[in-house]
Structure 1
Amino acid sequence: MAKAKDIPDLNYNASVQEGAQRVLLFRFDEMINLREAALDFSDIEGVHNMRVASRRLRSALADFASYFRRRELNSSRKKLKTLASALGEVRDADVAIQALDKLASRADADVAEGVGRLIDERKREREDARAKLVKAIDRDDCQNLRAEFVMSLEKAIAKRNSVQENDLRGAHTNGTSFHDAGRGLIEERYLQLRKLSASLFRPHDSEALHDMRIEAKRLRYTLELFAAAWNDSLLSFADEVSQMQTLLGELHDCDVWIDALGTRLKKQHARSERQPDNGLINRWQQNRNASIWLLQHFVRARTKNYQGALALWHEWEKLDFKNSLTTQLCQ
């Protein structure tokens, strides 16, 4: 996974608003500075890195939402979501093509031919996605978005700080240090992850498992963000959470493939009942064989990743991951 840059001169003893502003502006620039690399389609890692940077930025925005006047940032948030979606479409196609290429190299010639046609389909979809991305991260649009983001963030902080002194919530947040806010955010993220862990006991609940993956990602980002405040002792916890994120991410990818291949096979079955011309029968059979072979692969891979996630969570329970994290945060 792409590693975030360290944020220089981040004062953990400053107010939470001051620290959050520093983080958000740095993360925004970190994302925008990856624009050129993302548009270099000869290296698919460029899109991946910019997408991850956009996720870190949006995760930080969610972390600090209660310390700002949230609605002042609504417009910027929507635009960032659109940008992230454009990056995601290209990245998803890149990953799909990469996975299919690898699988085709292991398949029999007949199946590989069918997989090759599926790769060609994904490449056409990627070209469309890339064209959308070029528009989504236009240089002028990105510069305008940054100007809007900076202005909206300043306004959101100013309005949040203008809360009357008798507003207990406002008084509390204004007096919170960035360090103490980090402790609270990490604890909150972990409790949410723990709540969602019940999905591990429902192996076929794809949506709930996906929600758990997203929460694991957010916890990891928050741990990494505040690691320096605890002399990097939180990085070992971040590594553990990263493992869970990876397993659940791979599981989710398998679910997407299983759904797509199931739909594809259903359509192929419907076409078979129309008795295709003899000249197309061989091609049709190759496509069907490839779809079934791929479906079998992704069902097995899903089971392996599910078992890995369940085993990792069980290990955390035995080692009392929660208590270890809480103890570390109290130091």
Structure 2
Amino acid sequence: MTVEHLSKISQPGKTEQWEQALGLLYINFRDYCKDALKNFDDEDIHQARVNSRKLLTLLSILDPGHSSGLYPLFKKSQKILGRVRDADVLIESFKKRRRQSKKDGDKRSAGLLKAVIKHQKEKRKKYRQKLARELPQLLGKELDEQWATFIGEQLKPLVAKRDANVVMRELEVAYEQKKKACKDIFREAKADSEEAFEALHDLRIAAKELRYTASAASFALNQKFHANEAIYKEVQEQLGEINDKRVWLNTLNSIGRAELDIGKKTWEAFTRTLRAEVLEALQQNEVVHIKGS
């Protein structure tokens, strides 16, 4: 028996590759969820969410009709984890900005940010309570049984019918279409219009799908797709910076000056600065050229 033949025998088959990849993500998801429920550590929350996102990605490739019934369960988990994670990120970004304001001697902005942080911590408290209440129900014995049925009975025929490379190509086409739509909008609409922001949001989500597919399904993809994770991570980060600054501004506007008990001049100066930063991030992005940048 040749070394080449032995190598072929030792290599896992297509179904086994999927089973291994899915199994590792499932174990990680459950472990991080359990750890997250102990003390709401931000990294545990983040990793639980990442692993749920990758599970959703692989399930979407294999079972786009969601016949296994697993997709809605992981989707709900991701949603309640995401609320806490987004609050963690938002609070940390406001804390970082407050530290800078204090360093610059801008006491008014620092005071405004302190009020925002306090408000957001109250919201996060409610999200954590919901997570503690609902996530254990999703992680029960029924999920393990459903997962075992999926792996043991449904996985093999689904793997035989689906090709991750075809899905990746479809996602690339969808991304290019959304990118073209963005360019068309920016040629005609104002850069900071609601229509432009929505188009950029759709493009960011498309980039995120490509990034996660390239990462989670790397074992099943042709070599030409292996660089996609890094490529679309960069795209996502650039568009994410625009989105983050817009979220900061929207968060402030949704709370309102009266709720935070902030003076009119301080409020107007700070929100004006944020609007300028959103526009600057738009102008500096290298994904979609903005007229005049």
Whether these two folds match at TM > 0.5 is: yes
- Structure 1 counterpart of 2:178: 196
Equivalent of 1:99, from 93, 118, 133? 93
Aligned length, in residue pairs = 267
CA distance in 2, matches of 1:38, 1:232: 36
CA distance in 2, matches of 1:116, 1:251: 23
Cα distance 1:63–1:229, how it changes in 2: closer, same or farther (>3 A)? closer
- Residue 84 of structure 1: how far off its partner (Å): 0.9
CA distance in 2, matches of 1:53, 1:10: 25
Matched, 1:129 2:127: yes
- Structure 1 counterpart of 2:68: 73
3-state SS of 2:100 partner = coil
- Residue 109 of structure 1: how far off its partner (Å): 1.1
CA distance in 2, matches of 1:142, 1:296: 48
Equivalent of 1:88, from 82, 88, 95? 82
Cα distance 1:213–1:110, how it changes in 2: closer, same or farther (>3 A)? same
Identity, in percent, stands at 22
- Residue 229 of structure 1: how far off its partner (Å): 6.0
CA distance in 1, matches of 2:54, 2:11: 17
Cα distance 1:73–1:307, how it changes in 2: closer, same or farther (>3 A)? farther
Q: What are the equivalent positions in structure 2 for 1:115-194 lying under 5 Å apart?
A: 115-138=113-136, 141-152=139-150, 154-157=152-155, 174=160, 181-194=163-176
- Residue 285 of structure 1: how far off its partner (Å): 3.9
Is the 2:235–2:287 Cα contact (8 Å) retained in structure 1? yes
1:124-159 deviation per Cα after TM superposition (whole angstroms, max 9, x unaligned): 11111111112233288344323223324545447x
3-state SS of 1:33 partner = helix
- Structure 1 counterpart of 2:274: 298
CA distance in 1, matches of 2:274, 2:144: 41
Give the counterpart letter for 2:73 in structure 1.
Answer: K
Give the counterpart letter for 2:242 in structure 1.
Answer: L
Equivalent of 2:253, from 249, 258, 262? 262
- Structure 2 counterpart of 1:241: 232
- Residue 294 of structure 1: how far off its partner (Å): 4.1
Give the counterpart letter for 1:104 in structure 2.
Answer: R
Is the 1:25–1:150 Cα contact (8 Å) retained in structure 2? no
3-state SS of 1:72 partner = coil
- Residue 50 of structure 1: how far off its partner (Å): 1.1
Which stretch has the larger CA shift, 232-241 or 212-221? 232-241
Is the 1:216–1:244 Cα contact (8 Å) retained in structure 2? yes
1:286-317 deviation per Cα after TM superposition (whole angstroms, max 9, x unaligned): 3x4554344234323333433344x2457xxx
- Residue 21 of structure 1: how far off its partner (Å): 4.1
Give the counterpart letter for 1:98 in structure 2.
Answer: E
Is the 2:32–2:47 Cα contact (8 Å) retained in structure 1? yes
- Residue 230 of structure 1: how far off its partner (Å): 6.9
- Structure 2 counterpart of 1:213: 204
3-state SS of 2:67 partner = helix
Q: What are the equivalent positions in structure 2 for 1:311-326 lying under 5 Å apart?
A: 311-312=286-287
Structure 1 unaligned spans of 5+:
1-8, 162-172, 272-282, 315-331
Matched, 1:307 2:283: yes
Equivalent of 1:55, from 53, 62, 65? 53
Structure 2 unaligned spans of 5+:
1-9, 186-190
Is the 2:210–2:228 Cα contact (8 Å) retained in structure 1? no
1:33-83 deviation per Cα after TM superposition (whole angstroms, max 9, x unaligned): 2124323547422211111111111112112225xxx34323x22222221
Cα distance 1:301–1:28, how it changes in 2: closer, same or farther (>3 A)? farther
CA distance in 2, matches of 1:222, 1:187: 11
CA distance in 2, matches of 1:132, 1:175: 38
Which stretch has the larger CA shift, 191-200 or 84-93? 191-200
Give the counterpart letter for 2:37 in structure 1.
Answer: L
CA distance in 2, matches of 1:53, 1:233: 24
Cα distance 1:71–1:106, how it changes in 2: closer, same or farther (>3 A)? closer
Is the 1:90–1:129 Cα contact (8 Å) retained in structure 2? yes
Is the 1:206–1:255 Cα contact (8 Å) retained in structure 2? no
Q: CA RMSD in A?
A: 3.2
